[in-house]
Structure 1
Amino acid sequence: MHYFLTVFQKDGKLSLNATFEFDNDEEAIAHGRQRLEEENCAAMTHRLTRSGKLLIFQR
């Protein structure tokens, strides 16, 4: 399944726009959280989605 991780700056510009594939949501969520930490984006507004389903969201 395709997953999309998007991180926004306060002015609305994109800081990170990544796609990846995993077999299930749990693996994708774990990878998304790890990637946010690696990119120092965990405190920024972000979302992880799959086929329109919101899996992670922080504002």
Structure 2
Amino acid sequence: MRTYVLTVFSNTGEKLLDESFEANNDQEAKQVGTVKLDESGYSEYTHRCVSPEAKLVLFHR
């Protein structure tokens, strides 16, 4: 398992969410990140999910 980081920002740049989670690959991480965003109500906020190598796997601005 690989550790990914999901971060959500407000319009003023304040971090609203900064959470790590594990997934087998980038595709699974994208799915898990999307579900976490939907559940927390942050899907329309600026967010990013990065891999252990700092590769963006999910991004919305």
TM value normalised by structure 2? 0.92
Unaligned runs of 5+ in 1: none
Matched with 2:28 is 27
Unaligned runs of 5+ in 2: none
1:24, CA displacement in angstroms? Answer: 0.9
1:48, CA displacement in angstroms? Answer: 0.4
Give aligned pairs, total: 59
Give the distance between the partners of 2:60 and 2:30, measured in 1 at CA.
13
1:43, CA displacement in angstroms? Answer: 0.3
The Cα offsets for residues 13-48 of structure 1, whole Å up to 9 and x where unpaired, read as 011101011111111110000000000000000000
